[in-house]
Amino acid sequence: MSQLIIRGGRRLEGEVGIQGAKNSILPILAAALVTADQIELRGCPRLRDVDASVRILQGLGCTACWEKNTLLVDTREISGCAVSDRLCREMRSSAIFLGAILARCGQAELSYPGGCELGPRPIDLHLSGLRDLGAEVDDTGGVLHCSAPRIEGREIVLSLPSVGATENLMLAACGAAGITTIANAAREPEIVDLQNFLTACGARVFGAGTSTISIEGRRPLHGCTYTVMPDRIAAATYLCAAASAGGTVFLRGGREEYLSTVTAVLREAGCSILSDGNGIACCCKGRLSAVRPVRTAPYPGFPTDAQAILMAAFLKNRGATVFEENMFENRYRHVDELTRMGADIRVSGRTAVVCGVKSLHGAPVCCTDLRGGAALCVAALAAEGETAVREICHIDRGYEDIARDLRFLGADIVRTES
Ligand code: UD1
């Protein structure tokens, strides 16, 4: 079993390149299906979820091969429109393939992605949007059968701005006759990246980054070469690492405009952050000051994916900082593990109050989910002694090599196999 051994107490000093965004590459790989051509994706992170998406494509008869961080995908030939239950379970965001397969084949068969570590993961908005486009969705026996010999563009209003539903419907709409408008769409930068990819393939998609996206369907699409945007949550993780341990770091390729709510909190806490077209520089000295409540919200609000990581940086803050998790039901599972390291965190419902402690100590801890796992690493950098982080398969879902990256930043961290 793999684990990370971290010896804390060392100030960070160094530079690291930011990997491509996990949450961009997953919908883009589904979108590749819609193009029925050859795609070259650059800056692709090598992650478990990306491997799972590649296996879904291969299961549908497509080919894919890696050249370092470039992924070559050929979706010209496909042999089916069903994704196996095993592959659907492997990756929670497999549902994103529904819209893409439907656009390509007029029918699709997938299993429910099911719940996840963060709580229930419903896809009702994905399904009702597909029904709005004219698809018939039947889910007897836990398998989703979608069929739509002809899907028609129309206005879809999402009751909440779901990222996955927005992406799924953008892809389905590429195969719909006429214009589809998605109102109350999610505004995340990864949705803009998906629009940019589709546009590079000849699609006519407008409005990503705003609440209204329109898609003109049935356009002839073609392959392209595309570079995936940098991962804003990986960048947030390494900024929080510097805030936790103290020190000066430079994140090459990081884009502050995608994480301005995170940098605003770190500045309020006393860190100096500068950014330009090359990356983000961050300098943190001494204990962080307590800040105003941090409330997670859909983009452009504070990202739920950065909540645990930021909390870990605040364990020794001067005073108390309040966190409010508004996106997922079960997103404080890292708290018990942080407590093992000496943190003082009180959770009540969706609120967690982090009372700053003078010191943290290393401990054996277990990852509960992807970002909760990264949070344990961030906390361990500020702890005296050695922390062993177990169950790091969760971290591997989202970070290409967190130990390598933190070592570039000067941390004492190794991955061991036992
Ligand atoms: C995406 C991100 C994930 C991030 C999340 C919120 C990817 C691969 N994952 O997940 O990292 O944490 O956005 O920023 O991009 N909901 C429903 N019904 C639906 C769909 C969603 O009730 O049909 C609810 C969810 O339970 C959740 C909220 O809407 O409470 C937001 O979920 P959503 O934006 O869909 O997140 P994901 O796309 O799953």
The three-point CA angle 73-75-78 to 5° equals 140
Q: Which of 81, 88, 116, 271 is catalytic?
A: 116
Decide if 201 is catalytic.
no
Let me know: does 111 contact 88? Beta carbons within 8 Å.
yes
Reported as a single tens digit per residue, the pLDDT across 348-390 is: 999 999 999 999 999 999 999 999 999 999 999 999 999 999 9
Per-residue model confidence (pLDDT) at position 245: 97
The label of the residue with tokens 């079993």 reads 1
**Average pLDDT, stretch 168-176?**
96
Reported as a single tens digit per residue, the pLDDT across 225-246 is: 999 999 999 999 999 999 999 9
Q: Which of 128, 327, 399 to mutate to test the pocket of ligand 1 (most atoms within 8 A of CB)?
A: 327
H or E segment to which residue 105 belongs: helix 96-105
As to burial, measured by CB atoms within 10 angstroms (0-12 exposed, 13-18 middle, 19+ buried), residue 112 is: middle
pTM, whole model, 2 decimals? 0.96
CA distance 210 to 225: 25
CA distance 36 to 74: 8
142 CB contacts (<8 Å, ≥6 apart)?
111, 112
| pLDDT greater than 80 at residue 329 | yes
* Ligand 1 nearest-atom number relative to CA 119: 26
Residue 234: strand, helix, or coil: helix
* Ligand 1 nearest-atom number relative to CA 298: 14
Per-residue model confidence (pLDDT) at position 46: 95
| pLDDT greater than 90 at residue 168 | yes
Per-residue model confidence (pLDDT) at position 360: 98
Residue 292: strand, helix, or coil: coil
| Closest CA relative to residue 274, chosen from 256, 301, 298, 293 | 256
Per-residue model confidence (pLDDT) at position 242: 98
Percent of the chain at pLDDT above 90?
90
**Average pLDDT, stretch 103-131?**
85
pLDDT bucket at 197, cuts 50 / 70 / 90 = very high
Token pair of 201, please? 């393939």
Query: Which is it for strands 212-216 and 204-206: parallel, antiparallel or unpaired?
Result: antiparallel
Query: Mean pLDDT of all residues in the chain?
Result: 95
Let me know: does 243 contact 282? Beta carbons within 8 Å.
yes
| pLDDT greater than 80 at residue 116 | no
Q: Which of 162, 168, 305, 326 to mutate to test the pocket of ligand 1 (most atoms within 8 A of CB)?
A: 162
The lowest-confidence range among 25-29, 82-86, 156-160, 211-215 is: 82-86
pLDDT bucket at 277, cuts 50 / 70 / 90 = very high
Query: Which is it for strands 70-74 and 38-42: parallel, antiparallel or unpaired?
Result: antiparallel
CA distance 278 to 255: 8
Write the residue with the smallest CA distance to atom 31 of ligand 1: 162
* Ligand 1 nearest-atom number relative to CA 305: 12
Sign, CA torsion 322/308/164/350? negative
| Closest CA relative to residue 39, chosen from 218, 200, 215 | 200
Per-residue model confidence (pLDDT) at position 114: 60
| Number of alpha carbons in the 13 Å side-chain half-sphere of residue 227 | 5
Let me know: does 354 contact 318? Beta carbons within 8 Å.
no
Percent of the chain at pLDDT above 70?
99
Reported as a single tens digit per residue, the pLDDT across 60-97 is: 999 999 999 999 999 999 999 999 888 888 887 889 99
Per-residue model confidence (pLDDT) at position 106: 94
| pLDDT greater than 90 at residue 216 | yes
CA distance 262 to 284: 14
**Average pLDDT, stretch 120-128?**
89
Reported as a single tens digit per residue, the pLDDT across 5-56 is: 999 999 999 999 999 999 999 999 999 999 999 999 999 999 988 999 999 9
| Number of alpha carbons in the 13 Å side-chain half-sphere of residue 355 | 6
| Closest CA relative to residue 235, chosen from 250, 220, 218 | 250
Per-residue model confidence (pLDDT) at position 129: 96
Let me know: does 373 contact 367? Beta carbons within 8 Å.
yes
CA distance 291 to 347: 17
Ligand 1 contacts CB of residue 299 (under 6 A)? no
Ligand 1 contacts CB of residue 125 (under 6 A)? yes
Reported as a single tens digit per residue, the pLDDT across 284-306 is: 998 999 999 999 999 999 999 99
